[in-house]
Every structure is written in C-alpha cells, then in structure tokens.
Chain A
C-alpha cells in the first residue's frame, strides 16, 4: 500500500483490506498523536461534503499532521479556470498526500496518475468512494466479530447507490448471502447480479420489508432520492414504503446492526435511534479510525 493511491476499492487486495481494518482497530485503541508530525496533507474538496471532509481532517489532526486545502471549489483557483491537471501538479509539491473529492467521474484516477504524491479518493461523482467502503467493512467486522458468512441486507436505492455497489464487491470476498430490498425501479443492476452469479454468491430480491429481515446480520440502509423519480407521487409512495421503524425490529437477530452512510432523509425512523441495533452514528465515528489507518498505511508509517 505504501505510496500507492487509493482510488477504487478494487485497488486493494483482500489482505490489504484486512490490514487496513486491523490498523483501524489499533488507532481506535491508541491515538498515536505524533505519527503524522511534520507531514502535510492536502484536503481538496472541489465540491462540498462537510461530513467526509471533517472525518478526514479529524483523522489527520488526531495523528498530529497538518492540513492545507479548500472546502469547496469557490475558494480555490479552479474558479479562475485552472484545470485539475494544474491544481494537482501544483499541490503535490506542497503535500505528502492528497485527499480529494471531485464531482467529475474518473477525476481521482486521473489525479493519481499526474500527482507526485499518493491520492486518496474521497468521492469522484457517482463513481467511487473507497474510504466509505472500508469504514463500512470495519463497522461490520467490529460489530459481528467477523466478515465471513454473514447475511447482508441492502435496502433502498440499489440502482444508483455507489456505496452499496462497492460494499457488495468488497463483501463478496467473504462468502456472504445478500438480500436486496428495493422498489422495482431501483433494483440492483444486472452487472452486479452477474458478478454474484459468477462468484456463486446467493442473493434474493424483495420489494417489501417482510419477516425475511429476521435473518439479517447487517441491514444497510440507503437514501431514496427524489431525482430518481419522474413522477413525484411515485416518489412519495416509494419513500414511505422503505421506512424502517423500531417495531419492525422486534423479531430480528440479537447481533443485527443497522448501518447507513448518512445523511438520512426519512428511511430510518427516529424511533430506531435509541435501539441498540442502530449503529449509524458509531459507524460515522469508525470513519475517523479507518481514515487514520488508510493515511498511515499509504505513507508507510505503520
């Protein structure tokens, strides 16, 4: 991993993923406040994403590193028409590592090819967001004690949701069973089902929440976005069909945890928040440990 960019979750092997998760566990126990001393991390957010940015910046600061950069492109030279090429070539002179979020797909791969220092993709449009996937894996491993042989439920927008696609790919290394719950218009795309068929991984598709959720070890909820529907009435109906309420969790497994990449709209009712099976806020905190691990591993400090 040393000196290698992280653009897509498929850039890492199973062993490398496990190594990151192990390191994240170490950072959760021990702060390592001096590890990044004297290192400069560039945080380039060409589009705003407060949640992801704060998580990265918190990770850097916990390790004693310093941060340069911008939080949206209006405060950067890109508003003066500077190309991504020029911004990256310039910034890589000042920093030891670049964390980058950009609305254009493939921008992170391009940046990693022209940058003199490693690039960590913090989201490139609808394409990839690998640090989210790693923190999801960390959350699953931490709550279940393992990654193997789990029954994973993916709920909501399975068609456009990049987080569920990357999670599906990554979890496929660990012999899971998948259950998909979604509106027929937001079903898991064929290419991912073919991928599972090829690997011999079982999956089941549902259009409703039913008793089937009593089999879940992990329930991964996602937002259903208004833009996905041309008919606003259909959106309203769909939005309300896939709301998880506390009483629905009555017969679920003891070890079940509910995950969500956040922010949520209404797909998890607030009554769930105080249920010990709700895990989405801790999941967000796990993002800090995971990002500490990623940065430390890439800089070869751990």
Chain B
C-alpha cells in the first residue's frame, strides 16, 4: 500500500509538513489558525520516518511571512513548508529558530514577573539546537521540555 497523505490537495495556499503530531495544536495556536476563516484541513498521527508520528496542515489562500512562520520552530523545528499555486509547489521553505522570541512562550520560573503581571514575555534563544530560551526579565532558562505556549 502506498503511504499517501490522507489529506486532500489544495489549489492555492500553504502546506506545513513534518510537525510532530503531539505539537499540532501548539502550531495552530502560535499561527492563530484557530482565529482565521480560511479553509483548512489537517491530519495527525501520520507515519513519519523522521518524527515517528507527524501532523500536516493545509491552509487555503494563506501565505506566511518568514517572521511569522519561524515562530513555530519552537515546537516544530523540522517543519517544512510547501507554497502551492494552481496545485503546484512553487516554493519550499524550512523554518529557522529566531534569535528572539516575543510573546509566545511562558517563562518556566514561577517567581518570574511575567507570571504575575500583564507583561509580554521576551526571550533570547541561547541555543538554537536544543531551543533554550533565556528570559529577558528573570534571566532564568526555559528549555524545550518545559516550553509552554501562551
């Protein structure tokens, strides 16, 4: 049997592939996909040699700026984007962990000001491979295992 993606093709838009299945909803939240009206399909728990179990999202008539899409590198560092026009892949992109993360992640430190007051979180990425984030405020490190998306 052929291992086809059980998600239908789109005419124009963006396909985000190689999302770890467990982080599908985090990707949806980070990209605010739950707040837009574009037609969208997704599949989860698909077989993947690289990830074990992956998810894929197809969004019609939606194209992302690099700055926006790079935010998902926090939870889907291996994600690949296919930009579709007239059913054809016209561009492929990979995501890149940004140097600074603003307003997406929560600081792991329960004593941090960002967990007490309305403060936009800010982090410097001190290690892009392991995704270690240093809080601009309390200066503590939030690592990938403790990463919570706001």
Contact = CB atoms under 8 A, between A and B. Distances in A.
B118 A106 contact: no
A125 B136 contact: no
Interface in A80-131: 83-85, 103-107, 109-110, 124-128
Contact of B117 (A8, A84, A128): A84
Q: Identify which of A84, A106, A107 gathers the most chain B CB atoms within 10 Å of its CB.
A: A106
Contacts of A128: 139
Nearest to B113: A106
B119 A110 contact: yes
Contacts of A83: 117-118
Q: Which of B116, B118, B138, B140 has the most CB of A within 10 A?
A: B138
B73 to A, nearest CB: 24
Contacts of B137: 105-107, 109-110
A8 B139 CA distance: 10
A220 B30 CA distance: 47
Interface string B116-150: 11110000000000000001111110000000000
A132 B106 CA distance: 30
B113 A104 contact: yes
Contacts of A127: 138-139
A107 B136 CA distance: 11
B113 A110 contact: yes
B139 A107 contact: no
A85 B117 contact: yes
B117 A105 contact: no
B2 interface: no
A85 B109 CA distance: 20
A104 B140 CA distance: 13
A99 B112 CA distance: 19
B111 interface: yes
Contacts of B139: 8, 105-106, 127-128
Contacts of B107: 106
A124 B135 CA distance: 14
Interface string B88-122: 00000000000000000001010111101111000
Interface of B: 107, 109, 111-114, 116-119, 135-140
List of 8 A-B pairs having minimum Cβ-Cβ separation, nearest first: A106-B137, A105-B138, A106-B138, A106-B113, A107-B113, A110-B113, A109-B137, A105-B111
15 contacts: A83-B118, A104-B112, A104-B116, A105-B109, A105-B111, A105-B137, A106-B112, A106-B114, A106-B136, A106-B138, A107-B137, A109-B113, A109-B136, A109-B137, A125-B111
Interface of A: 8, 83-85, 103-107, 109-110, 124-128
